[in-house]
Amino acid sequence: MTSLAETFARLADEGRPALVGYLPAGFPDVATSIRAIEAMVECGVDIVEVGFPYSDPVMDGPVIQVAAQQALAGGVRTSDVFEVVRASAATGAATVVMTYWNPVEHYGVDRFAETLADVGGTGLITPDLIPEEAGAWTDAAAKHGLEQVFLVAPSSTDERLALTAKAASGFVYATSVMGVTGARAQTSSRAPELVGRLRGVTDKPIGVGLGVSNGDQAAEVGAYCDAVIVGSALVRCLLDVPADDGIAAVRALATDLRTGVERARTTAG
């Protein structure tokens, strides 16, 4: 298992931010989702976010909603999510699960943490779990050596940023815009300010997500953060196309995004 700490330390030596790629487990089917993740890593993704398909994804935009619905209609189960995590971790990339809290609670918090650690996962991103209500997960994560990644938004107060950053481990997930996930024509003008405010309260790595869809945007965002998180644009590659075409599109986009994060510090000047 590769940890987030090892990954960020290596990338600090390389002088570039991490490229984080998100794909839902079981979309468009379990086998293809594993192939797509392997392709992402081969083409330069450093950290993999395995999405847990969920029927009420309040933070996810239309692209990820469609993907999750397709995975659920295909019968994806929690055991499939863990198998995808196992395959992702086998690539050597640090692998985290992004999930709403209800599936974890339903499965059993300690049982979920134990299984995630057993299959090589490094932690959990929980968009609807706030630190004040995360006691059960904090205990289970500590017991099984997992990271807990919490989210902040441009609307978060300074007190909220400090509290969330203190509770988080691995990295702090900064959502660059208000609203749901989805590729956007322009990156957020509020994200640099949010990252700057976070730098004032924590020295933990900061990942910026929501809206990045190409290498130029990855270079722009990666100039001021520690990790560039890409989800919807990668998921879109697999929508409504034959599997081989989708995998090829994932490869092309991951390659473009990787060139973006590699020139991010140059972009920063």
Among all residues, which ones are annotated catalytic? 49, 60
Q: Distance (Å, rounded) from C-alpha 20 to C-alpha 40?
A: 10
Q: Distance (Å, rounded) from C-alpha 155 to C-alpha 146?
A: 28
Q: What does the radius of gyration of the chain's CA atoms come to, in whole angstroms?
A: 17
> What are the backbone dihedrals phi and psi of residue 21, each rounded to the nearest 5 degrees, phi first?
-115, 135
> 48: burial class by Cβ within 10 Å (0-12, 13-18, 19+)?
buried
Burial 96-134 (b: 16+ CB within 10 A, else e): bbbbbbebbeebebeebbebbbebbbbbbbbbebebeeb
Q: Distance (Å, rounded) from C-alpha 120 to C-alpha 179?
A: 31
